[in-house]
Amino acid sequence: MKKTYKIEVDCANCANKMEDAAKKTAGVADATVNFMTQKMTVEFEEGADVASVMKQVLKSCKRVEDDCEIYL
Amino acid sequence: MNRKHKKMLVRIIIAAVLTVALNFIPTDGYVRLAAYLVPYFVIGYDILKKAVKGIWRRQVFDENFLMAVATVGAIAIAFTRSGDYNEAIGVMLFYQIGELFQSYAVGKSRRNISELMDIRPDYANVERDGGLVRVDPDEVEIGTVIVVAPGEKIAIDGIVCEGRSSLNTSALTGESLPRDVDVGDAVISGCVNLTGVLRIKTTKEFGESTVSRILDLVENASSRKSRSENFISRFAKFYTPAVCFGALALAILPPLVRMLFMSLAPEWGEWVYRALTFLVISCPCALVISIPLSFFAGIGGASNAGILIKGSNYLETLAKADTVVFDKTGTLTSGSFEVTELCPVDMERERFLEYAALAESASSHPISKSLTKAFGGTVDRSAVADIQETAGEGVTATVRGEAVAVGNAKLMKRMGIDCREADATGTTVHMAVSGRYAGYAVIADTVKPTSRSAVSGLKRIGISKTVMLTGDGERVARTVGKELGVDEIHSRLLPADKVERVESLLAERNGRGSLVFVGDGINDAPVLSRADIGIAMGAMGSDAAIEAADVVLMDDDPLKLVKAIRIARKCIRIVYQNTVFAIGIKLVCLALGALGLAGMWLAIFADVGVMIIAVLNAVRALFVKRL
């Protein structure tokens, strides 16, 4: 399953870091961060609980870039 | 400028004014340090905070950390040696100016591009209880009648059930000529109604309507990352740590070598300063921002010209196009059949056409339609009787009491009538009236007016091979191919043969350049996906084509193909320029810094200046009007 979220991030390199962090989160099959449109597309692994996975994604993103936001 | 930007601007001004003022007040020692720390903290407190937080979270190598270390180091050197704090503050100041500019420029081009794509209708008018109500288009169900007044956008795809008007389709096709619509015509969302009130019965939900699909496609396009983008993010990942360790080595190794092996003074201060210069140069911002921005601008500009590119990666492949394969019908030719030659025997042309049209009046075959169209007048169905259609042969009927047979040579033969074989390209339709041969009409697909210039345009921009594939007979294919000037013609192909042909063409070019297939999206989905780049033309409203193609041309003008390739090339050129320019300048500055020839002022140019230039260059990709 794929879902798109609105995000807020100020620099392009930070967007790349967020993408990496999101990809490494358990339950995420693939993730793309689009800096230009400020959107994050997350593809979840089968049977993953979207809400809890996204909470974890937000946490890992905050770890690499404090100044970011994902609107869940 | 938003609130964040304004706040930063105020901080920049305060810090700059304070620093300049301090230069006129003679101080020294701790007082001097304390005085200069005021503007330093004004401009850099958030960077310092982020750097500390980064270390806390073990995310050391980010630009905040680099800036913090570089400036704190510069302050330490100023305090112990020169007393010149301007450098430390200047570096922070310019770094912030650069960040501000980047944020502003990116925000602005993002808005620009969304404005270009401003085709999202905000509401739909629905009749309820005798009055018009504005509703969210998302809430309109299939089959509802929506009312579109002149000047309004059509919100949802549908069929006109009342009224006539002309539509401005330029937002969708880039075509400025209005299109006339009447009752029964299908209309697509995103067009602007120009003259009359239209009542439209919707055939799709808003989410499935053309306008939503297009917006979706363009917005998601830059998420499919190109090779250059992936290269840059990989590069950035290695580059920053590498430069940091380089700086560390520069600070420690040369003084140690001088001390231990050359018995010279270590000059720690000098080497630490050079190392700090290294750190300032090392920020990869210019690259990391300018590449996706170029692609985004290129895709935005292209969509404004009616060319939808589904991803940055396709822009890259399209720029390398070397072979262009066309489907004939609907792509190079209009796909609508017309009577191109008329050869009646002992009969006036009008009467010939009238008889043919009458006999064929019940058939929905494209050939019958073209005969009716050529006749032009209204068909009086009461004049025809006993219509009999034989598949693969033609039609027999009684027109005004006379037995009329219209069809191919096979039909004539069966009826025992001699007929001449026409020497023309297209389908020959013979007619016999009361058992006597009455002549023939040639019906052919017409070549689009711009096809020829499109093919020669492709040649001019360096496409080495153009190929035409068609299911038609060889003679037709050869004539059309010759008229257009394509290099290779393959005729009598079934849809499956087309895939095979494209595969052998792919094998022939041994990985050099890329192969583009252009079709009208009807029956060629497998070929579209097999080619390096599949382009669907005139695909407005054809969901299958939009799905299968990598690039969608919204109108059916083949010249757009040349434009699409040009846009892709311009965009990729800008990407290369930015990559080479940014990496080149950084490497030169790093070398100069290591040799002690470049101070921090040059370093900050290498960082901020390069970024500003790269961003401005990237925005150029947006301008595609004159390509």
pLDDT tens column, B381-397: 777 888 888 777 788 88
Structural tokens at position B255: 């003084």
Q: What is the mean pLDDT of residues B304-333?
A: 89
* Phi, psi (deg, nearest 5) at residue B175: -90, 125
Confidence of residue B569 (pLDDT cuts 50, 70, 90): very high
% of chain B beyond a pLDDT of 70: 96
% of chain B beyond a pLDDT of 90: 16
What residues of chain A lie within 8 A of the CB of B62, using their CB? 13-14, 17
* Adjacency order of strands within the sheet including B179-181: B179-181, B165-168, B192-193
- The answer to whether the Cβ–Cβ distance between B285 and A12 falls below 8 Å is yes
- B504-525 b/e with 16+ CB inside 10 Å = b? ebbeeeeeebbbbbbbbbbbbb
The pLDDT assigned to B583 comes to: 87
Q: Rg of chain B over CA atoms, in angstroms?
A: 35
The pLDDT assigned to B572 comes to: 94
In chain A, the domains with their CATH numbers are: 2-71 (3.30.70.100)
The answer, yes or no, to whether residue B118 has pLDDT greater than 70, is: no
3-state secondary structure of B272: helix
Interface of B with A in 222-261 (CB under 8 A): 222-223, 225, 233, 236
The answer, yes or no, to whether residue B541 has pLDDT greater than 60, is: no
* DSSP strand pairing (B131-135 vs B124-128): antiparallel
Q: Which chain B residue has the Cα nearest residue A42?
A: B223
Cα B25 to Cα B502: distance, rounded to the nearest angstrom: 77
Question: Could you tell me how many CB contacts below 8 A there are between chain A and chain B?
Answer: 60
The answer, yes or no, to whether residue B546 has pLDDT greater than 80, is: no
For B66-102, the DSSP string reads HHHHHHHHHHHHIIIII---HHHHHHHHHHHHHHHHH
Q: How far is CA B291 from the centre of its chain?
A: 16
Q: Which chain B residue has the Cα nearest residue A32?
A: B223
> Is B327 an active-site residue?
yes
% of chain A beyond a pLDDT of 90: 17
- Of B5-14, B304-313, B361-370, B588-597, which gets the smallest average pLDDT? B361-370
**Which residues are CB-neighbours of B104 under 8 A, at least 6 positions away?**
B1, B5
What residues of chain B lie within 8 A of the CB of A32, using their CB? 223, 225
Report the run of H or E that residue B54 belongs to, with start and end: helix B29-56
The pLDDT assigned to B603 comes to: 84
DSSP code of residue B534:
E
The answer, yes or no, to whether residue B404 has pLDDT greater than 60, is: yes
Average pLDDT, chain B: 84
Cα B210 to Cα B190: distance, rounded to the nearest angstrom: 7
The answer, yes or no, to whether residue B331 has pLDDT greater than 80, is: yes
Q: What is the mean pLDDT of residues B572-588?
A: 91
Cα B537 to Cα B557: distance, rounded to the nearest angstrom: 8
3-state secondary structure of B554: coil
Q: What is the mean pLDDT of residues B534-561?
A: 80
The answer, yes or no, to whether residue B358 has pLDDT greater than 90, is: no
Helices (H) and strands (E) in chain A, counts: 2, 4
Contact B600, B543 (CB under 8 A): no
The pLDDT assigned to B123 comes to: 86
The answer, yes or no, to whether residue B511 has pLDDT greater than 80, is: no
What residues of chain A lie within 8 A of the CB of B103, using their CB? 10
Distance (Å) from the C-alpha of residue B296 to the closest C-alpha of chain A? 7
The pLDDT assigned to B172 comes to: 72
Confidence of residue B453 (pLDDT cuts 50, 70, 90): very high
The pLDDT assigned to B423 comes to: 66
Cα B567 to Cα B586: distance, rounded to the nearest angstrom: 28
pLDDT tens column, A21-51: 999 999 999 998 888 778 888 989 888 888 8
Which of B63, B223, B233 is the closest to A41 by Cβ?
B223
- The answer to whether the Cβ–Cβ distance between B288 and A39 falls below 8 Å is no
- Of B349-353, B450-454, B558-562, which gets the smallest average pLDDT? B349-353
Which of A10, A16, A34 is the closest to B223 by Cβ?
A34
Cα B446 to Cα B493: distance, rounded to the nearest angstrom: 19
Cα B51 to Cα B53: distance, rounded to the nearest angstrom: 5
The pLDDT assigned to B540 comes to: 61
Cα B338 to Cα B332: distance, rounded to the nearest angstrom: 15
Give domain limits for chain B: 334-447
Contact B360, B352 (CB under 8 A): no
| Pick among A5, A6, A23, A37 to test the B interface (most B CBs inside 10 A) | A37
Contact B87, B73 (CB under 8 A): no
Cα B299 to Cα B281: distance, rounded to the nearest angstrom: 31
Distance (Å) from the C-alpha of residue B263 to the closest C-alpha of chain A? 44
- The answer to whether the Cβ–Cβ distance between A66 and B233 falls below 8 Å is no
The structure's pTM equals 0.80
Distance (Å) from the C-alpha of residue A34 to the closest C-alpha of chain B? 5
- The answer to whether the Cβ–Cβ distance between B50 and A41 falls below 8 Å is no
Is the domain defined by B334-447 classed in CATH 3.40.1110.10? yes
Angle at B438 between CA B437 and CA B444, to 5 degrees: 110
The pLDDT assigned to B60 comes to: 67
Contact B304, B173 (CB under 8 A): no
DSSP code of residue B356:
H
B50 in contact with chain A, both atoms CB, cutoff 8 A: yes
Identify residue B325 by its one-letter amino acid code.
V
Q: How many of the other CB atoms lie within 10 Å of CB of B72?
A: 16
Task: Name which residue leads in pLDDT, B136 or B379.
Answer: B136
Structural tokens at position B208: 């499935």
3-state secondary structure of B461: coil
- The answer to whether the Cβ–Cβ distance between A36 and B222 falls below 8 Å is yes
Report the complex ipTM: 0.77
Q: What is the mean pLDDT of residues B441-468?
A: 90
Residue found by looking up tokens 């000047």 in the block: B151
pLDDT tens column, B238-297: 887 888 888 889 889 988 888 888 888 878 888 888 888 888 887 777 777 888 888 888
* DSSP strand pairing (B321-327 vs B514-519): parallel
Q: What is the mean pLDDT of residues B461-465?
A: 91
Structural tokens at position B53: 């937080």
The pLDDT assigned to B564 comes to: 94
Cα B121 to Cα A59: distance, rounded to the nearest angstrom: 36
pLDDT tens column, B171-216: 776 666 788 888 888 888 888 888 889 999 999 888 888 888 777 7
| Pick among A36, A39, A65 to test the B interface (most B CBs inside 10 A) | A36
Q: What is the mean pLDDT of residues B372-380?
A: 78
pLDDT tens column, B215-225: 777 777 777 78
Contact B351, B493 (CB under 8 A): no
3-state secondary structure of B453: helix
The pLDDT assigned to B516 comes to: 94
DSSP code of residue B152:
P
Q: How many of the other CB atoms lie within 10 Å of CB of B538?
A: 23
| Pick among B111, B220, B228 to test the A interface (most A CBs inside 10 A) | B220
The pLDDT assigned to B117 comes to: 63
Q: What is the mean pLDDT of residues A49-71?
A: 87
Catalytic residue (choose from B157, B327, B472, B524): B327
Identify residue B283 by its one-letter amino acid code.
C
Q: Rg of chain A over CA atoms, in angstroms?
A: 11
The pLDDT assigned to B542 comes to: 66
Three-state SS annotation for B361-424 = CCCCCHHHHHHHHHHCCCCCHHHEEEEEEECCCEEEEEECCEEEEEECHHHHHHCCCCCCCCCC
Confidence of residue B596 (pLDDT cuts 50, 70, 90): confident
- Of B107-116, B175-184, B484-493, which gets the smallest average pLDDT? B107-116
Q: What is the mean pLDDT of residues B86-95?
A: 89
pLDDT tens column, B153-162: 888 989 999 8
The pLDDT assigned to B13 comes to: 93
Query: Which pairs with CB-CB distance under 8 Å and at least 24 residues apart come from B16-22?
Result: B16/B93, B18/B42, B19/B85, B19/B86, B19/B89, B19/B90, B19/B93, B22/B85
